[in-house]
Structure formats: C-alpha cells, structure tokens
Amino acid sequence: MLKLYRKALELHGVDPKRVEHGTIVDTVGIIEKGRSFEVVFYETDDYIYVFEIKNFSDKGVIDQVFIRKKLFSALYSKPLKVFVVTNYIEREVKEKLEKEGVEIIASYVVD
C-alpha cells in the first residue's frame, strides 16, 4: 500500500524505498516484557519514521500507534515521526491522532 501513496509520502519527506517491515521486542517492559510487535519503519541520522498501514483506520489504530510510539521512544533516543497510511479513516480517529502529532495520509475521511 505504500506504493499507492508514494508521492504523498515523498511530500512528507519520506523515502518509500527505505521503509522496512520487521519486529520490535519490548525488552524493558513498557507494554509486556519479551512481547514482539510487527512494525513498519526506517531510520535516518535524525529521525525514526514509524508507519501504521491500514485499509480502514478505526479506533483500534489509536492504540496500535500509541504502543509503537511508546516502544520506539523507550528503546531509541532519536525523535519519532509517526504516520498512519490508510485508504479510509474515521474523522474522530484522524483528529485525535493529528492532535498527538501523527501525520495522516488517507484517501477518504469517514464520518
């Protein structure tokens, strides 16, 4: 899906070719010690870019984003830039995430 939104990501300073899919393990017990989480991210000298990629983003995406923000913040010293890349997002979810500094790239906002 990142390929679909390639131009939008580039406008936000993201290099879609560098984005990786992997896992992050909670080694310090932020959520649950030893638990692993799937993540889509990439790292530069200045930032760690973290992505949540969904077809439809409802209230569940809020928890997923906050978990990843907490984990990356605890395990890395670099500042984060967090993105939700989605086809559809609920307006309430979009507004809440934007207040938290999350960049939203979406095709449709659903009321």
Query: Is residue 109 packed enough to be buried (19+ CB in 10 Å), middle (13-18) or exposed (0-12)?
Result: middle
Q: Each residue of 21-49: pLDDT tens digit?
A: 999 999 999 999 999 999 999 999 999 99
Domain boundaries, the chain: 2-109
Q: In sequence order, which ranges of 4-99 are alpha helices (DSSP H)? A: 6-11, 60-75, 91-99
Q: Which amino acid is at 44?
A: T
CATH among 3.40.50.720, 3.60.150.10, 3.40.1350.10, 3.30.70.20 for 2-109: 3.40.1350.10
Please state, for a pLDDT cut of 90, what percent of the chain lies above it. Answer: 85
Q: Is there a contact between 102 and 84 (Cβ–Cβ < 8 Å)?
A: yes
* Predicted local confidence at residue 85, as pLDDT: 95
Q: Each residue of 79-88: pLDDT tens digit?
A: 999 999 999 9
* Predicted local confidence at residue 57, as pLDDT: 97
- The model's pTM: 0.91
